[in-house]
Structure 1
Amino acid sequence: MRLSKPVSVTAVSALLLAALSACSAPPDDVAVTPSITPVQLAQPVAASTSLRVPAMGRLERDEESSLGFLAGGVVDRILVDIGDRVSKGQVLASQAPTALDAALAQAREQEIQARRDRDRAAELLAKQLVARQVLDDADTRLQLAEAARRSATFAADNARIVAPTDGVILRRLAEPGEVVGAGAPVLAMSGGSGGWRMKTIVADRDGIRLLPGDRATVRIDALGGVEWPARVDRVGGEADLASGGIAIELVLEPPASTDVERLRSGLVASARIESSQDSGLAIPTAALVAVDEGRGRIFVVRDGTAVATEVSLGEVGVEYVRVVGGLQPTDAVVVEGAAYLSDGEAVAAAAGVEE
């Protein structure tokens, strides 16, 4: 009997591998399901920051105003003193009439002279002895003289200071016999509203975050440490040149039964100003996969795909981080499993977690 040639071990191995491959390969018409990574998702929530600003300042009556004469001259009489309550229309001070009367008399004489010159120019023009320009110039001088006379009359008739409203005299800034300029402060008074405010300057980093309407508490040590609620009324539009801070005005809101008669302008008071504002979104700190100088990297899920997203960060806490840019409130953020994801990887919310 003739024996066949022996088959090599290499050939047998090749045949076995081919058979195994044929058995394990899926049919052409069967789709391969891609791997989907389960992750835990969370929605961003609105973040609010609380700001507490201490401040020191001085109290002032509401609607304080400085009063002076319309024209310069010598103060004749001051009819009120500091602390006096006055009524609207009450005469508070007057000027010596001598200078004003003299100015009015001079203005009247100049008007008479200008009118006489104008009439003379009209006669000469009628006789064709002067040009039309001469009469026009005379008309102009007459108009100027009439305006000066009206101004002097107004100043003489108003050589006194009258209270513009009910209120309280705060300061006397001039005395009888003194020479004051037009509009120079002679008296300071407060309006009749009876309100009080505190003026202060806070650090620029705090001032730019305060808004009108923010609440505050004002403490007045001169009244035994009494504390009254207050609100921010005005926030300065520019930094103070001397200190670099921002000017703030608080309006005091004492209870209706509080006796405010003991208050005086200029009293020192302290305040605690509180502000709470929406400022960005908050997400769990676990969502961060990278942080670098105020920037962070997270994954958000869109259409079942993990998308690497760069965001701007605010304060970073143990449990939550504030995101100030790069994230939308509707984004679904990966909070567990983010460290093992790649950009574009297919993901699904883990069981029991809503996307």
Structure 2
Amino acid sequence: MSDATLPQPQPPAPAAASPLRWLLSIAPTVAAVVAIGLVGYWGHSTDWRMPSFDELVGASVEAETPWCEEHNVPAAECVECQASLLPNAETYGWCDEHGLEPCPLCHPEVVQIESPPVIATQELERVAAVLDLRERAENVVGCPLNAQRVQFASVEAVDKAGIDVDLVQRRALVEAVEANGEITYDQTHLARLASRAAGSLWRVEKSLGDRVSPGDVLALVDAAAVGRAKAELLDALADVDYQQQTVDRLRPLAEEQIIPGARMLESETALQQAEIKLRQAQQSLVNLGLAPPVEELARLSPAQRAERLRLLGLSDELKATLDPESTTSNLLPIVSPIEGEVIRRDAVAGEVVGAQAPLFQVADTREMWLVLSVPTEESAYLMRGQEVRFQAEGLRTPIVGRLDWISTDIDPHTRTVSARAVLENPRGELRSETFGKGRVLLRDDPEAIVVPESAVQWDGSCYVVFVRDRDYFKPDGPKVFHTRPIRRGVSQGGFTEAIAGVWPGEVVVTEGSGVLRSQILKNNLGAGCTCGH
């Protein structure tokens, strides 16, 4: 048989499709559709709103309890949706005197304590004085946080949110102008001493640290100018003696007209000229720091005069230490004019000295100067007599003094104003050129009202704190915190002064106050209450 007549093989018939395999192939598509449907159902039921902060930290509530979604508290307890539960405080308007709204000083009924306080006149005067003392941070009328409230579902919800509180209290507070300062010697009790004539240092009597009194000799200078001045004085004294004797001898003759009057006039003129030369010689010694007793010398003999002038200006005690045979008459003492301590000595016996370079410095350190460099903008608050407290480097306790001078100039380099205080230094603890921080006291207030620094929040227009409601711990009391603007004062030691806005005994939020501020600002952007009221 030929191949054409042979039977040809037939292809196998297709197998019937498996139902299970078909279901597995469409399962992913079905799951995706179901998921999309569930998301749509959730969005429809929640109005496409994410959970709020309070919903995340608030106490769980049973599903059957009607819930205020906007404020995350039971709907029956929501003070925002049901104003009758906690009516908003009466609106009193802006207080121009204290710069806030509401003002507890003018309307004590807003204070969140058991009963409204009685505001004494002394307290109002104290606050007025604080506000007038210097410029204060101001709040803006219409603060967005004003009269806002934050409510929690329970005390447990407050604890979960990390809220901590503290009391408003009174504390002693010091307000001051702060400035860098330097301690220096009192320039009115600092003597820089040099030789009044050129010469060589014959002997040095005092060393660094020695205490001296007015008139004490620090050193002796061998100066030729001193010897010449003494010789001129002796010469002038002798000339006066001669001319006086001549006048005394000629006067009787002139009275009897034995000699002409012109001759008597010449003698008197010569005496006057001699006296003038005597005064000049005396002044030359005075200019050198030596004061010759001219009247006493006039009564002595020439030899006695020379001996009296030889050690002029030296004390008897010092003279007793000198060898009368070898001691020159050219000695010029360098004498301390004040009581104090030798704080510098640039003198060595035997060296040649001039009449300009200081050899010694003597300072009375019982009083020192404190010079403060006060910022220009702060200098307007300074007055003479204000108390100054200076914390010097190396000392544990501050030193107290009072301003006695304020410069009328501004330093062109530092743009600061110099102010000076006098510091008592009876034990000698203060050192010149000691640096530190000074505080010029503007007020020392023992009754300032303060809150912890962490309690104060700034929203860009006003300073606020969060005050706990007075009924917070009552069984049916709402767990509410009220925003309260304050007039912020100075900060010190972890506390901030609330010049006005709160009252001692109120409770403010410390830890977590920033969270409450953020929550209020976020709620202000919401669409309103969704609890059905």
TM-score between the two structures when normalised by the length of structure 1: 0.50
Counterpart selection for 1:79 from 205, 208, 212: 205
- The structural deviation recorded for 1:264 is 3.1
Counterpart selection for 2:419 from 224, 248, 273: 248
Q: CA 1:118/1:89 → structure 2, altered by over 3 Å: closer, same or farther?
A: closer
2:262 is the counterpart of 1:130:
yes
CA distance in 1, matches of 2:231, 2:368: 46
- The structural deviation recorded for 1:104 is 0.4
CA distance in 1, matches of 2:362, 2:397: 26
CA distance in 2, matches of 1:245, 1:131: 74
CA distance in 2, matches of 1:272, 1:60: 20
2:266 is the counterpart of 1:148:
no
Q: How does 1:93-104 map to 2 (within 5 A)?
A: 93-96=219-222, 98-104=224-230
The residue that corresponds to 2:363 in the other structure is 190
Which string of whole-angstrom CA distances, capped at 9 and with x for unpartnered residues, describes residues 175-199 of structure 1? 54343438x7432222263x43322
The residue that corresponds to 1:346 in the other structure is none
2:231 is the counterpart of 1:231:
no
1:196 touches 1:252 (CA, 8 Å); kept in 2?
A: yes
Note the residue ranges of structure 1 that are not aligned, 5 or more in a row.
Answer: 1-39, 278-316, 321-355
Q: CA 1:107/1:233 → structure 2, altered by over 3 Å: closer, same or farther?
A: same
Q: How does 1:162-311 map to 2 (within 5 A)?
A: 162-164=335-337, 166-176=339-349, 177-181=351-355, 185-191=358-364, 193=366, 195-221=367-393, 223=394, 226-236=396-406, 238-239=408-409, 245-252=416-423, 260-261=428-429, 263-276=430-443
- The structural deviation recorded for 1:131 is 7.0
CA distance in 2, matches of 1:92, 1:154: 18
CA distance in 2, matches of 1:227, 1:160: 43
- The structural deviation recorded for 1:85 is 3.3
Q: Would you tell me which structure has more helix in proportion to its own residues?
A: 2
CA RMSD in angstroms comes to 4.3
- The structural deviation recorded for 1:88 is 5.8
The residue that corresponds to 2:312 in the other structure is 157
CA distance in 2, matches of 1:175, 1:207: 47
Query: How many residues were matched structurally?
Result: 234
TM-score between the two structures when normalised by the length of structure 2: 0.36
CA distance in 1, matches of 2:194, 2:291: 12
The residue that corresponds to 1:110 in the other structure is 236
SS at match of 1:211: coil
Note the residue ranges of structure 2 that are not aligned, 5 or more in a row.
Answer: 1-94, 98-123, 135-174, 293-310, 314-331, 445-484, 489-533
| Larger Rg computed on CA atoms | 2
SS at match of 2:391: strand
SS at match of 2:421: strand
Q: Would you tell me which structure has more strand in proportion to its own residues?
A: 1
- The structural deviation recorded for 1:59 is 3.5
1:121 touches 1:138 (CA, 8 Å); kept in 2?
A: no
Moved more, 58-67 or 166-175: 58-67
CA distance in 2, matches of 1:240, 1:139: 60
- The structural deviation recorded for 1:108 is 1.6
CA distance in 1, matches of 2:264, 2:380: 65
1:218 touches 1:252 (CA, 8 Å); kept in 2?
A: no
SS at match of 1:264: coil
Q: CA 1:68/1:319 → structure 2, altered by over 3 Å: closer, same or farther?
A: closer
